[in-house]
Structure 1
Amino acid sequence: MKLDIEKVDFFNGVTSLVAKCSIGSGLLLVLLYCNSINFYPRNIQAGDGLFFIWVSLVFGFIFSIVTLLFSMPGYTLYSALRLLNPWRRKLKPNSNFFDSAAIHLFSIITVAVFSIAIYFNDLNFQLSLGEIRNFVFLLIALFINGVFFSNIFEANPNRDNKWLKPISLLFLFVLPSFIIDGFFYNSLNGAMEKLGVRESQSSVYIDMDELPVVSDALKVSGYSLLGIDKISEKRFKIPNTIIEFQGVGDTNLIRLCRDKECPSIHIKAEKMTVSKPNKAT
């Protein structure tokens, strides 16, 4: 019985440690997100600890998937270049380009789907120095992540795998965020959208007594009230806009239009409701 009690105590200790680490990492992620939008929620409750755990879990899942989908085409690029290199280091016979055909096929499908998404979303890329620099950094990150992917999944007797694999795994996740502009924060924004903290295409219904605040913010920034609809004597509507933060604390942050330069304002959570496209308020 003593052994069983010790096991239970050990399990409780591990569970408590994991929960605390999840809350801590979730809190850090929320702070990073809030810093990126220059907004910090107020009156956070003790029960919001569960929210921080969910942030940690959802972001971890999304970031892992994005990194994996990014690294696999990098591995295909690295394998192709290595195949064409006549001075390449000899690999173990079962570790070559064609034995990883399933990974390469999935990489090609990933690139094709991503290219189609860019085409149908009408994303225009200008041939500027900044765009060229970003593209070069993207290729560099792809190639390096391909090398890390190779270190993790390929067997090679010429390599010391004791420390190489965990180090490669660490840099596989860390490196793209430092080299590719927006890699980390786009993943974080995606996690916040899945959690409902951020809404990228929604209509907001706000109490009429907040209209002067909205009007002043738009006028100061040079925008008009043309997109704002009066619904009733008590409420008005801002259609197709971005909610940058909601659901935690007593104050939300909304952008008054989809333009990046459009002002954002603080609205009390009790004074607004949100409607997604094709859904009733």
Structure 2
Amino acid sequence: VHVGHHHFYFDISAVEKDEQMLKAQFRVFKLKRMHRSRRSNVPHFCKVEVYELLESENKPQKKHLIASRLLSLYAEGWEVFNVTQTVSKWVGNSSSNHGFWVTTTRVSSNGMEHDVVTFAKSPGALQESRNALLVLFTNSNKQRSHSSLPSATSNSRASMSRRPRAAAAAAARSPLTACHRRELYVDFHAIGWSGWIIHPSGYNAFYCRGSCIFPLGESLNATNHATVQSIVYTLKLSQDVSMPCCVPDELKSLNLLYFDDKQNVILKNYKDMVATRCGCH
């Protein structure tokens, strides 16, 4: 029996005790085994077990099993373990955090073999983006108040007071709804992106919907060109001219934590991902 062990410690002191722990994932990148055995009777799998250390790493015999699974010796990639319950306990009592103890076990007749599985944990530039991660999904009232966007309802109410009376009257008579922003939640799992996006699991992209009929009020954020086009459309001066389009007028960026083609963990800011305002263009 060949047994290897690895110790992983994460400082989570920055997490406040009143934050709700939704999910915690321990992620380790398993490196490919370079020397493949040619003998058919040699097992190509090993057992990986993740433990919570109950005391310091000097006493690894005192541990609690969190998860275990079989892995191919010759595969490479990220392995994800659910450690929500353990990390929640650590957040409540930081002194109980002694880290994770990972053991790899393989039964073989070759007594000289050691280092069954290698995980990326060196500070080298090549493996830096593959180092072990502890990804936390929390629900904090403080964070939510900063990140929340004003609702479409509150925007429309504020803009109604600035709209010219003629425009307000025209909007009241029109059976069509004026251009406005509506919610659009994008679930990355539903669109098939959950395999490479680590966080978030989805986001509210919003979208624009409604008509741009003359007269265009201030709340419709219309360009001069859209105003002229709406006049031509309303007067039916040209059959080829359509109504101006209700489209995003302002957009903001979104941070994504994801795996690239080489299984490196990347944090990137993607521009123009969220519609924050709609207008007639």
Please, what TM-score do these two structures have when normalized by structure 1? 0.25
Higher strand share: 2
- Which is greater in Rg? 2
